[in-house]
Structure 1
Amino acid sequence: MPWTRPRLNRSKARSKSGSKAHRRYSPSPRSPWLRWPGSRRRVRAALLAAARTAAGYGWPVLPGAYAVPGLLGPCSCEDPACPAPGAHPHQPPLPAATTDARMVGWWWAERSPDASVLVATGRTVSAVSLPADAGARALEYLEVLDVPVGPVLLAQDRYVLLVAPYTLAELGELLAEQPWVPGVMRYHGPDGYLLLPPSRTAEGGVRWVRPPVGGRPWLPEVGGLLGALIAASSVAADGSRLAG
C-alpha cells in the first residue's frame, strides 16, 4: 500500500492554538483592575468603607452604576449611549436605599463591589449644587459672613453643599422670596441622589472639599445659604455680574 500523508484535523488544531492564545493573553493597559489587583482591592475596600460610614451617619445609601474603561464601557449599565456613565442608580433602584449595616455590607462586599456609592436625598440629607468656580466663591463669602457650612463635595466640576432635608414646597417658598435665581443652581431633594467619594464617573472622581465631621454630621438649613449661593452664581468667572 503506498504511503499517504496523515490528514490534519484543523478544527482540533484551531482549538488548541486558540486555548494557548487565551492562556498567553495579557490584559490591555486600559484594564487597570486586571493588571493591578492590589489596587482594585484597595478601591473596593474604600467604597465599602464609605458606604458603611454614610449609612452610619443615617444617610440611606445604595450601589450605583460605575464607569467601565475600554471597550466594555462606558458604564456598567451596558448602555453604550449612557448619558451619565458611573453616575446614576442601576440595580437596585433608588427606593431601595437603606442605612441597614448588613444590607450595605452585602451589597458592596458580595453583590456589587465596584459600585459607586449613592446617597438618596430628601430623607435625612439634601443638597444644593453649583459650578465649581461659583461654589468656591460662595464658600469664601459664607466664611466672611461667619455662616456655618456643612459637608461639601466636588463632583463633575460642581460644588455640592449638603444641607438638612427640605421638601419641594419649602424650597419653592424660599426661592420665591429671591429677586432672581440663576439657572446654574441644582437642587437635590426628595427622590434625588448624590455620588459620594471615592466613587468615580467617566468624567473623574468625587472628593470631599469639606469632609463630614462627627458621628452624625451637622447639616445647615438651606434657607441660610441660598442668598450667598445665588450671589456667587450671579458672577461670571471674570468677575462681571451676569444679566438677571
Structure 2
Amino acid sequence: MREILGRRRRLRFRRKARTARQEAAVTFAVGWDWPVLPGVGLAEPAGTAESPGRGGLWTRPGTGRAERPGPGGATRTGGDGPVCACPDPGCVVPGAHPFDPGLLAATTDERMIRWWWTRRPDAPVLLATGGRAPCAVSLPAPAGAHALRDLDAMGMRLGPVVATPTRWSILVAPYGLERLGELLYAKDSVPSSLRFHGEGGYLLLPPSTAGTGQVRWERAPLAGSARPWLPDVEAVVDALVAASTATPGGGSRLAY
C-alpha cells in the first residue's frame, strides 16, 4: 500500500509540473509578449535490452548506461548523464535547445502554445531572444552570484535572473549586434565564459528541466507585473566582465 501511495504522489507531482510548464509558457507569451517555443527536452528513461524505454532507449546489460539505436543499428550511449532527445550523439547542451519546431517557430499565440505543450507536456520552455523580446547575458554560476552581489552593492536595479546549477542569466532590454559590438570593443578583454543571447538566440526559462538540472528564478519577476522591467545591457556588462574575470572557474573556461 505504501508503494502504491508513493507512486500516486509521484504521478500527481509530475502532472502538476507538466501543467506548470504550459501555464508558464502562456504567461510569458500572452501576458508578457515574449515569443516562446518548446525545447527538444531529454530522452525518456531507459528500459532494458528486452524492454526498451520510451524513445527507443535501452540499458546495456552489465553497464547501466542508457543507449539509443543509431544508424545501421549502432547504439548511442548516454553515459552517466542525461541523454538529449535530439539525434546528435555528442550534444553538449542536452535538452536545452530547439529542434522540432525550430527557433523561427517561436510565437506569442496562445492556441499554438497550448497545442505544443498538450502534445509535449515535459518540454522545456525556450525564449527566442532579441527583436522585441528580452536579451540576456549569461555566465558561470559562481561568477553570476559574485556579479549580483556587486550590482546590489552599487544599488543597481535588476530585472529577472534565470539560474541553472551551472549558469546564471541576467535578462536585459533588447539590443542589436552593432550596439553590443561597440560596447565590447571598448573593453580590454571579455572572458569567453560570458555568453550574449541576442537576436537569433534563445534561453531556457523556468520551470524547465534540462541536462544541467532544474531551471529556476534566482530573481523572479514581480508578481502580477504586466511585463517585467529590464535594465540596459550597458548597465550590467562591466560588473559581469569583472566578476567572470575575478571568480575562479568563471573567467575563460566555457562551462555549459
CA shift, 1:34, in A, is 10
**C-alpha distance in 2, partners of 1:131/1:225?**
15
Are 1:196 and 2:205 counterparts? yes
Deviates more, 1:193-202 or 1:69-78: 69-78
d(CA) in 1 for partners of 2:165, 2:102: 22
User: Secondary structure at the residue paired with 1:234?
Assistant: helix
Q: Does 1:100 align with 2:109?
A: yes
Q: 1:238 to 1:158 in 2, by over 3 A?
A: closer
Cα distance in 2 for residues equivalent to 1:146 and 1:39 = 39
Task: Tell whether the 8 Å contact from 2:130 to 2:198 is kept in structure 1 after alignment.
Answer: yes
> Which letter maps to 1:117?
V
Q: Kindly indicate whether residue 240 of structure 2 is the aligned counterpart of residue 229 of structure 1.
A: yes
Runs of 4+ in 1 over 4 A off after TM superposition: 32-35
Give the structure 2 partner of residue 49 of structure 1. 23
8 Å CA contact 2:162–2:216 kept in 1: the answer is: yes
Read off the aligned partner of 1:51 and give its amino acid letter: A
Q: Distance in 1 between matches of 2:187 and 2:211?
A: 35
Shift of 1:79: 4.1
Secondary structure of 1:187's partner? strand
Describe the shift of the 1:35–1:217 C-alpha distance in structure 2 as closer, same or farther (beyond 3 A). closer
Structure-1 residue corresponding to 2:61 = none
1:23-172 counterparts in 2 under 5 A? 36-55=10-29, 56-71=31-46, 72=57, 74-109=83-118, 111-123=119-131, 124-172=133-181
Displacement of 1:170 in angstroms is: 0.7
Shift in Å, 1:238: 9.3
Cα deviations across residues 156-200 of structure 1 (Å, max 9, x unaligned)?
A: 511100001111111000111122211211100011000011111
Q: CA RMSD in A?
A: 2.4
Q: Shift of residue 35 of structure 1?
A: 9.3
- What amino acid sits opposite 2:220 in the alignment? P
Q: Which runs of 5+ in 1 are unaligned?
A: 1-31
- Residue segments in structure 2 that go unaligned for 5+ positions in a row: 1-5, 47-56, 58-65, 67-82
Indicate which of 174, 178, 187 corresponds to 2:196: 187
| Range moving further from structure 2, 37-46 or 56-65 | 37-46
**Matched residues, number:** 209
Larger radius of gyration: 1
Aligned pairs for 1:206-225 within 5 A? 206-213=215-222, 214-225=225-236
Paired with 1:80 and 1:183, the residues of 2 have a C-alpha distance of 25
Cα pair 2:134 2:173 within 8 Å, conserved: yes
Secondary structure of the 2:23 match is helix
TM-score in terms of structure 2 length? 0.76
Q: Is the 8 A contact 1:33 1:40 kept in 2?
A: no
Amino acid at match of 2:245: S
User: What's the CA shift string for 1:77-127, capped at 9, x where partnerless?
Assistant: 254443322101011110010111111111112x22211100100121100
Maintained 8 Å contact 1:150/1:219: yes
Residues 33 and 39 of structure 1 are in contact (CA less than 8 Å); yes or no, is this contact kept in structure 2? no
Q: Deviations over 1:19-58 (max 9, x none)?
A: xxxxxxxxxxxxx999943222111101101101111211
Greater CA deviation, 83-92 or 71-80?
Answer: 71-80
